[in-house]
Amino acid sequence: MLPASPGRRAFVSVWAGQGAACASDLPSVPGDLPRTSGARYARSSRSQSAARTRPARIGADDDGEVAVTADLTTVVVAVLGVAGTLLSPLLGQRAVARAKQQEYDLQHRQRLEERTEAQRRTAFEERRSLYARLNTAARQYTQELRAYLRMITAGAVTDEGMADLAGARQAYRDVYSDAQMILPDKVSDAAVSVNEGLGQAYGIVKQLESGQPPASSADDQAEASERAQEYCRVTLYNLIGDLRQLMREDLGVSVSDASDQSA
């Protein structure tokens, strides 16, 4: 080996310096980097790797969510099926009970309506029967008063005539007493007028029977008897006719029907 001359040593030093400078310009090798540069490189590498692998993980998450949703749907369907199986008998019993209750309510309402209608018909029949008996008793009482007046005028009063008058009077009073309990106000007012007229006529008859004309009359016995007959024939007849008309209207008989039957 040749000895190192000063010029050779200078050339080697220059070459080594240039080599070092060139080496500093070359890309760094991870193993030769400082600790800080190596950590930065590792993080960058991991970020790039995560970016490359992220789509694969997202797809896996979607598949997991779909699987969980499918499992949850299956569980819900199963629970609903079991609940429906358990509740169907109860719902069926409730529907049957409701139908029976509705049928019972309908039958109860029908029975109530039938009972109300039966009571209405019964009350109507009782009222019609009472009206007929009251009209008949008033007319019969009036006829017996007129018949007794004729006996008084003829001077031929008999026990039979007196009994007939007393019987007609009692029959009328019994019917009138029953009628006072159920007559409507309008019909009751007319019945009161008839009752007062019959009472007045009976008082006149008794006064004539005793041989004394009514105190309000200045006529003799014959004329007083004639006036009493007219009172029974006209006044009482009109009062009884008005009462009969009101009773017919209360029973629902029209005025035209009443006129036809009167004719």
Residues 87-137 have pLDDT tens digits of 777 777 888 888 888 888 988 898 899 988 898 888 889 999 999 999 999
Ranking 21-30, 141-150, 231-240 by mean pLDDT, the lowest is: 21-30
Which positions ≥6 away from 128 have C-beta within 8 Å? 251
Amino acid at 120: R
What are the start-end ranges of the H helices in the chain? 6-25, 35-154, 159-182, 185-209, 221-230, 237-250, 255-262
Amino acid at 152: I
Q: Residue 169 above 80 pLDDT?
A: yes
Reported confidence tier of residue 27, pLDDT bands at 50, 70, 90: very low
Ranking 184-188, 236-240, 244-248, 255-259 by mean pLDDT, the lowest is: 255-259
Question: If you ran DSSP here, which 8-state letter would residue 34 be given?
Answer: -
| CA-angle at 105, arms to 102 and 110, nearest 5° | 125
Report the distance separating Cα 135 and Cα 99, nearest Å: 54
Look at 1 and 117; give whichever has higher pLDDT.
117
Residue 62: its pLDDT value, please? 57
Residue 58: its pLDDT value, please? 45
Q: Three-class SS of residue 253? A: coil
Reported confidence tier of residue 213, pLDDT bands at 50, 70, 90: low
Residue 174: its pLDDT value, please? 95
Residue 45: its pLDDT value, please? 54
Residue 181: its pLDDT value, please? 87
Burial of 66: CB neighbours in 10 Å, binned 0-12, 13-18, 19+: exposed
What global pTM score does this model have?
0.57
Report the distance separating Cα 102 and Cα 94, nearest Å: 12
- Give the domains, in start order, of the chain with CATH numbers: 128-257 (1.20.1440.210)
Reported confidence tier of residue 138, pLDDT bands at 50, 70, 90: very high
Q: Three-class SS of residue 141? A: helix
Look at 69 and 12; give whichever has higher pLDDT.
69
Measured CA distances, 122 to 109, 119, 126, 127 (Å)? 20, 5, 6, 9
Q: What percent of the chain has pLDDT over 90?
A: 32
Residue 211: its pLDDT value, please? 75
Q: What percent of the chain has pLDDT over 70?
A: 67
